[in-house]
Structure 1
Amino acid sequence: MSETSLNGSPSADALRGQILDLVRQYHATAFPTRSFDAGRSAVPCAGRVFDEEDIVHLVDSSLDFWLTTGRFAEQFEREFARTFGVRHALLVNSGSSANLVALSCLTSPKLGEKRLQAGDEVITVAAGFPTTVNPIVQNNLVPVFVDVDVPTYNIDVTQLEAARSDRTRAIMIAHTLGNPFDLAAVSAFAKQHDLWLIEDCCDALGASFGGKPVGTFGDLATVSFYPAHHITMGEGGCVLTDRPKLKTLAESFRDWGRDCWCAPGMDNTCGQRFDWQLGRLPEGYDHKYIYSHIGYNLKVTDMQAAVGVSQLAKLDGFVAARRRNFARLDAGLADLDAFFLRPRATPGSEPSWFGYPVAVRPDAPFTRRDAVSFLNDRKIGTRQIFAGNLLRQPAYEGIPHRRIGDLANSDFVMNQAFWVGVYPGLSDAMVDYMIESFHQLTRVPSARA
């Protein structure tokens, strides 16, 4: 490719190369490595971890000025599906949207008797994140709340049979904080009763169960690329499936609800664009403008996807760092079991830890509130385990639902548990400072005043 244009000025390709070289220089200057100063530097519970190539990809995409889904989105979907070991990966604009699309596509009339209809029940957990449950409510379905096991913080599979009724049609639950739920038990239950299974993997990218990646057990799976997650594209999410029909339906709900499956910039891939007759439309109505679902526009921009392509190359290293930080923290807190309940991986799983969940024992000489306040004063970030017991949240007062038992463990999570970070941006010195701070909390009551 010529370095100059016909008029002797640098070519577009040459200029692009210069711009990207400058971006690399900019990264080195604008984002230097900073030393950790215990007690003064923040220890976040999560955050973006990026390098010069992530910014280069972002700027490279911006120079195309192709603002919607484009070449980077296509590349990411292809590479991400290969990474997960599934046939289809469908990018959307957030993990929450991924959950909405995944569940909504199961309401399609094109699924015949298998479609979810108003009043059907979906089994989920009470101690979860709102947007795992919200699509159930928004589709006029009935969530059936079961309790969680402590300290895996995942679904108590012994309650599955009690949760089932003649209206049960699906299960939609998340792998909590990167710790897989018991996929053997849940998958067997779903298969036995012919139920749809959606795995919310938004916190669990890179986790596995029985040597098989999470997200490959259910009919559909979802992932989030928010900055706090395992890889990021700022905002963004993905729907995964091995089933071509579900991929087409999910794509429809993501793309305005249209019946057409042509990619952007293409048309007539069905070979009969002007030969369709659906609904009460006139025969020959343009298939690109026929809508078979009540859909949305939930596509991701190509600039976001470009960051995702770069981040995906670092996924294995990110997961390894999370596991290393988790193990260091867990070993460092092992002598504090009189005060804290440490997390436990689900048997048969290899978690890809999103955070380190810890619960203050009810008989400890301090409360959960004391603990998080103490850590916050030492600039250590903490988070609740999502919404605690969702049924105690204002948004869920009065929603149609069923609950199994008294949800005692969900209340325990709400009252006693929190989590701290293990994300790749934490250094050994930061993790050691967290360990020291937990010990200080138990030794010096005056420090909690």
Structure 2
Amino acid sequence: MIDREDLIRTIREFHGQQPDRPFVPGVTEIQSSGAHLDPDDRTALAAAALDMRIAAGALAHRFETSFARRIGMRKARLTNSGSSANLLAITALTAPELGEARLRPGDEVITCAAGFPTTVNPILQNGLEPVFVDIDERTYNATPELIEAAVGPRTRAVALAHTLGNPFPVAEIAEICSRHGMFLIEDNCDAVGSRYRGRATGTFGDLSTVSFYPAHHLTTGEGGCVLTDNLVLARVVKSLRDWGRDCWCEPGESNRCGGRFGFELGGLPYGYDHKYIYSHIGYNLKATDLQAALGLSQLAKLDDFCAARRHNWGRLRAELDGIDHLRLPEPTPGSDPSWFGFAMTVAPDAPFDRFDIVNFLERRRIATRGLFAGNLLRHPAYSAVPHRVSGDLTVSDRVADRTFWVGVYPGITDEMIDYVVASVREFVAGHRRAPVPAAEPPAEGNR
């Protein structure tokens, strides 16, 4: 008979036998992002697979509890992606349980034009209207002044992401939302472990969202999460995620409340099975215990992952400081970011453009990315969507034209950072403007 624990030990040994490939400059790709996986992660997945944990169950619930406690929120709802988490968060704010405070079609939600589409898409998918604001050119985030100026008579919420792990001024923007009676949704997908004024990002809003895609701070393969301190919203999110069911039993449970056949809701007859009564128009956006097993293993290493990201970002910032023609990022004052990437913006008067430096780096196997969508309104999908623009989008356009970023994730070593720095410096040195020759003094007769 095969012993389960012997099999797990064999899998751990198998992990240790994987070749450790040395870094070869110009040959080994320096990825912009990626999962950082160890023997504990492999054996956690294997153990869940051996137990046939193929749907959401006890491990998913354990991860939700552990992650909520780690971030500092009362409830977490595990989902199949960060995009689904954003959809659930916005949709929850339209629920009848919120009474007159609920969002209705035509209400406005303030967001950034420069960002990732799935922060904005749920606004449109719920019949709401995005109000696009610009960003600060140093932090790549919206400012309280831009948010305040965007508030109109129909504005009911703000949905913003902490760009590349750098917190937006979330305490001040939360205060604006409170003063105007607006909801705040924090897209914390790039910023798990970041802090603003000593407090974790993802704890300021009515709802916050996280992605566990392999690019992010923790991974479950695919996956995401919605967090909230509001128990009404937590229950609505759970219902929307679980087909829209009114029942609060977990899948596989039958009668936790003891009254499964004692309900009379809507136009259904008394005693209709509560497991099949629907109070919301929902989805199936659950994750599995396999994903949760990996998430629990990853969560134990979160502090180390965040420290590595800060270290890598700090080295790039220090060693590229003062470089010609590139504008480097700044952390938001009062913040301690757990960085997602290191952004650089080509100066308007540079003797090269983004295309030039990006292609130089890519040829050296240094992966680059644009700052997500740059300016969403310049994309075909958004050219005709209903929206309002507050002010102008000058910096968003500049980001679309001139900004790129490189990786800082934990799989990047000091040797790789050295190569990135040397490559950027070599490129810029080769593109310095020739000095303008001094004018010759005029001849005597021309004075």
Given the alignment, which residue of 359, 364, 369 partners 1:378?
Answer: 364
Given the alignment, which residue of 298, 317, 325 partners 1:339?
Answer: 325
Query: Corresponding residue for 2:436?
Result: none
Q: Aligned ranges for residues 172-321 of structure 1 at < 5 Å? A: 172-321=159-308
Report how far residue 25 of structure 1 moved.
1.1
Equivalents in 1 of 2:153, 2:202: separation in Å?
Answer: 27
Query: Corresponding residue for 1:6?
Result: none
State the TM-score, normalized to the length of structure 1.
Answer: 0.94
Please tell me the residue identity of whatever aligns with 1:219.
D
Q: CA offsets per residue over residues 51-96 of structure 1, 9 Å max, x none?
A: 0110000010001112111222122111111101111111000000
Report how far residue 157 of structure 1 moved.
2.1
Q: CA offsets per residue over residues 238-270 of structure 1, 9 Å max, x none?
A: 000111111100000100011111122223333
Query: Corresponding residue for 1:17?
Result: 5
Please tell me the residue identity of whatever aligns with 1:394.
P
1:158 aligns with 2:145: yes
Residues 57, 250 of structure 2: 8 Å contact kept: no
Residues 174, 202 of structure 1: 8 Å contact kept: yes
Residues 357, 420 of structure 1: 8 Å contact kept: yes
Task: Note the residue ranges of structure 2 that are not aligned, 5 or more in a row.
Answer: 433-447
Query: Corresponding residue for 1:109?
Result: 96
Please tell me the residue identity of whatever aligns with 1:333.
L
Q: Secondary structure in 2 aligned to 1:117?
A: coil
Which 10-residue stretch deviates more, 38-47 or 386-395?
38-47
Q: Secondary structure in 2 aligned to 1:113?
A: helix
Equivalents in 2 of 1:411, 1:130: separation in Å?
Answer: 16
Q: Secondary structure in 2 aligned to 1:118?
A: coil
Q: CA offsets per residue over residues 166-209 of structure 1, 9 Å max, x none?
A: 21111111000000000122011011011111100000000010
Q: Aligned ranges for residues 393-412 of structure 1 at < 5 Å? A: 393-412=379-398
Equivalents in 1 of 2:392, 2:201: separation in Å?
Answer: 29
Residues 174, 184 of structure 2: 8 Å contact kept: yes
Given the alignment, which residue of 91, 95, 102 partners 2:78?
Answer: 91
Equivalents in 1 of 2:377, 2:121: separation in Å?
Answer: 12
Residues 82, 211 of structure 2: 8 Å contact kept: yes
Residues 108, 115 of structure 1: 8 Å contact kept: yes
Please tell me the residue identity of whatever aligns with 2:9.
D
Residues 133, 392 of structure 2: 8 Å contact kept: no
Provide the identity percentage. 55
Root mean square deviation of aligned Cα: 1.1
Equivalents in 2 of 1:89, 1:33: separation in Å?
Answer: 37
1:128 aligns with 2:120: no
Query: Corresponding residue for 1:51?
Result: 38
Q: Secondary structure in 1 aligned to 2:47?
A: helix
Structure 1 residue runs of 4 or more that deviate by more than 6 Å after TM superposition: none
Please tell me the residue identity of whatever aligns with 2:4.
R
Equivalents in 1 of 2:162, 2:71: separation in Å?
Answer: 16
Q: Secondary structure in 2 aligned to 1:335?
A: coil
Equivalents in 2 of 1:427, 1:111: separation in Å?
Answer: 48
1:71 aligns with 2:62: no
Equivalents in 1 of 2:239, 2:383: separation in Å?
Answer: 32
Q: Secondary structure in 1 aligned to 2:49?
A: helix
Q: Secondary structure in 1 aligned to 2:225?
A: strand
Task: Note the residue ranges of structure 1 that are not aligned, 5 or more in a row.
Answer: 1-8
